[in-house]
Structure 1
Amino acid sequence: MRNPFGKKKKQPQVPAAAAASTEQSKRPSKGEATSHSGHQQQHHYGSEKPPPTVASSQSRPRSSSNTFQPLRHRSSTFMNRLHAYTQRTLGSGGTLYEAVVLPRGENCGGWVVVNLFDYFNDLSALWDVVAKDASLQNFKAGEGYPSGIEYKWKPSGPNSQPFSVSAPDYVNRTMQWAYETLNDKSLFPDDDDEELCTSIWSTKLFATTVSTLFKRIFRVYAILYSSFFNTFDALDLSAELNSCFKHFMFFSLEFQLLQDSEVAVLDIIVKPIKAQHMKSELEAKRNKENKAKRTNA
């Protein structure tokens, strides 16, 4: 499959062990810089407490495959029921659009959380394909990003300033922050008390955190496509990368969770997905109208 970004100068060789691997708080930072061809843009997320400093690798909860432990919901909770709904929809031949649309009568906040867990697990598995390779250390600060883009990292602290890191370092920091954030039970409770969960999901802090999570997940995908697509393609895993990204984008488009300015860096990939999502949305609307007509006939 052709890399939409063309040939990359830096393409680490993935060890055989990685080729076999397809398995798989904590507040948003106050600001995070994105450089576009040398121009820095500052994004502010309110005055909430910034996330903790990224922990050392020794303290990170890892599975035997060197990825983060998959995030799961307890079987007794309504969150697990929502997760099962998605799996049933896709497993029974349902469309991707049907799998992301809010189920009738369900809470939107809970639906977002359930899908966020899945998207983190997907991304963790994808990053594990290349994360073990020692040559990632050869990337210098500011390297490995899409052309004309640099995502700068802002540590915790009111007076801290964004600084340049390599793309692999940015991904590692993002994954650690996301893991800690999604495990923060004050924001993402895994509880069968739906009233408690709903009250948390209606807060401004929750909305801000979700927005930051989707933005940073997208940025990791932008890095994977721009610097590591050839690696996935060589391992016959490009279809998995594309499938996970399309699912993530369908959901983001359905609930308008990403700004156009953010996704423009992957415009060559995102545009066809937007068109497919719009087509699916129109088809679903027509089917609903036709069903209503048959019922009233």
Structure 2
Amino acid sequence: MSMALKQVFNKDRTFRPKRKFEPGTQRFDLHKKAQASLNAGLDLKMAVQLPHGEDLNDWVAVHVVDFFNRINLIYGTISDSCTDQTCPVMSGGPRYEYRWQDEHKYKRPTALSAPKYMSLLMDWIEVQVNNENIFPTNVGTPFPKTFMQVAKKILSRLFRVFVHVYIHHFDRVSQMGAEAHVNTCYKHFYYFVTEFNLTDHKELEPLGSRSKRRIKLTS
């Protein structure tokens, strides 16, 4: 990444604080292993594959946190142009509208502006990944039976951020010279969720034709 681009993707623009792995933990080692594969220029399809002898839950947990960090950073860089006025509905073009639902205030699917949806989404994910009962950090502590279900929900909702950014704010991404960076992050995400069947194919449809034109997933 160029110095100019690093200045764009600085910590002050992060939409939410990064979730970090503690050095010396198994999760930290897995995170470093995943990063090493990417930095070595390994083909993304190969990089997402489960390393020999590693636990799938651990591998998924590491990537969920990593994608959360990366995607909230990407959204943070364009958030100044994503407002209640410019994006009154959280959508991915005219065919796809995303409504928010949770266990607290919004018990029924509710139409919200994109920035409001994003804020609730990042808050919700932050709570999930910091919950030791869902994302245990101690080696030997078992994952709950519901872990994979929660991980899938997080990833499906994070994908919607890509959809919104690509369809409504890609000009802004291009202006910042961040197109290649965002495309690589998206391809990494796409290959990971499809490798382990972590996102419903219907969720991926909004970027189907777009990915063929701009993102070149087959490369």
Shorter-chain TM-score: which interval? 0.7 to 0.9
Equivalent-residue separation in structure 1 for 2:190 and 2:122 (angstroms): 18
Equivalent-residue separation in structure 2 for 1:110 and 1:221 (angstroms): 24
Equivalent-residue separation in structure 2 for 1:140 and 1:214 (angstroms): 22
User: Which of 240, 247, 271 is the matching residue for 2:181?
Assistant: 240
Say whether residues 1:23 and 2:22 are aligned partners.
Answer: no
Q: State the match for 1:160 in structure 2.
A: 107
Mean Cα deviation higher: 217-226 or 89-98? 89-98
Equivalent residue letter for 1:83: H
- Unaligned runs of at least 5 residues, structure 1: 1-17, 25-63, 278-297
Say whether residues 1:78 and 2:26 are aligned partners.
Answer: yes
Report the secondary structure of 1:161's partner residue. coil
Per-residue CA deviation, residues 269-296 of structure 1 (Å, 9 max, x unaligned), is 445879638xxxxxxxxxxxxxxxxxxx
Kindly state the Cα deviation for residue 145 of structure 1 after the two structures are TM-superposed: 3.3
Per-residue CA deviation, residues 240-259 of structure 1 (Å, 9 max, x unaligned), is 11111110001011101111
Kindly state the Cα deviation for residue 77 of structure 1 after the two structures are TM-superposed: 0.5
Report the secondary structure of 2:127's partner residue. helix
Kindly report which structure 2 residues correspond to 1:125-140, keeping only aligned pairs within 5 A, or say none. Answer: 125-133=73-81, 136-139=83-86
Greater gyration radius: 1
Say whether residues 1:200 and 2:152 are aligned partners.
Answer: no
Kindly state the Cα deviation for residue 190 of structure 1 after the two structures are TM-superposed: 1.5
Kindly state the Cα deviation for residue 151 of structure 1 after the two structures are TM-superposed: 0.5
Equivalent-residue separation in structure 2 for 1:159 and 1:97 (angstroms): 37
**Cα distance change on mapping 1:275 and 1:233 into 2, 3 Å:** closer
**Cα distance change on mapping 1:19 and 1:150 into 2, 3 Å:** farther
Per-residue CA deviation, residues 198-252 of structure 1 (Å, 9 max, x unaligned), is x225x0x212101100100111110111110010011111111111111000101
Q: Percent of counterpart pairs with the same letter? A: 25
Alignment RMSD: 2.6
Equivalent residue letter for 1:247: H
- Asked whether the 8 Å contact 1:71–1:117 carries over to 2, the reply is yes
Q: State the match for 1:10 in structure 2.
A: none
Equivalent-residue separation in structure 2 for 1:224 and 1:176 (angstroms): 19
Q: State the match for 1:42 in structure 2.
A: none
Equivalent-residue separation in structure 2 for 1:158 and 1:172 (angstroms): 14
Kindly report which structure 2 residues correspond to 1:119-268, keeping only aligned pairs within 5 A, or say none. Answer: 119-133=67-81, 136-139=83-86, 141-142=88-89, 144-157=91-104, 160-191=107-138, 193=139, 195-196=140-141, 199-201=142-144, 203=145, 205-268=146-209
Equivalent-residue separation in structure 1 for 2:84 and 2:6 (angstroms): 19
Kindly state the Cα deviation for residue 126 of structure 1 after the two structures are TM-superposed: 0.4
Equivalent-residue separation in structure 2 for 1:89 and 1:110 (angstroms): 17
Greater strand percent: which structure?
1
Equivalent residue letter for 1:189: P
- Unaligned runs of at least 5 residues, structure 2: none
Kindly state the Cα deviation for residue 66 of structure 1 after the two structures are TM-superposed: 5.0
**Cα distance change on mapping 1:100 and 1:19 into 2, 3 Å:** closer
Mean Cα deviation higher: 161-170 or 249-258? 161-170
Q: State the match for 1:111 in structure 2.
A: 59
Kindly report which structure 2 residues correspond to 1:83-94, keeping only aligned pairs within 5 A, or say none. Answer: 83-94=31-42
Per-residue CA deviation, residues 24-58 of structure 1 (Å, 9 max, x unaligned), is 4xxxxxxxxxxxxxxxxxxxxxxxxxxxxxxxxxx
Kindly state the Cα deviation for residue 81 of structure 1 after the two structures are TM-superposed: 0.8
Equivalent residue letter for 1:276: T
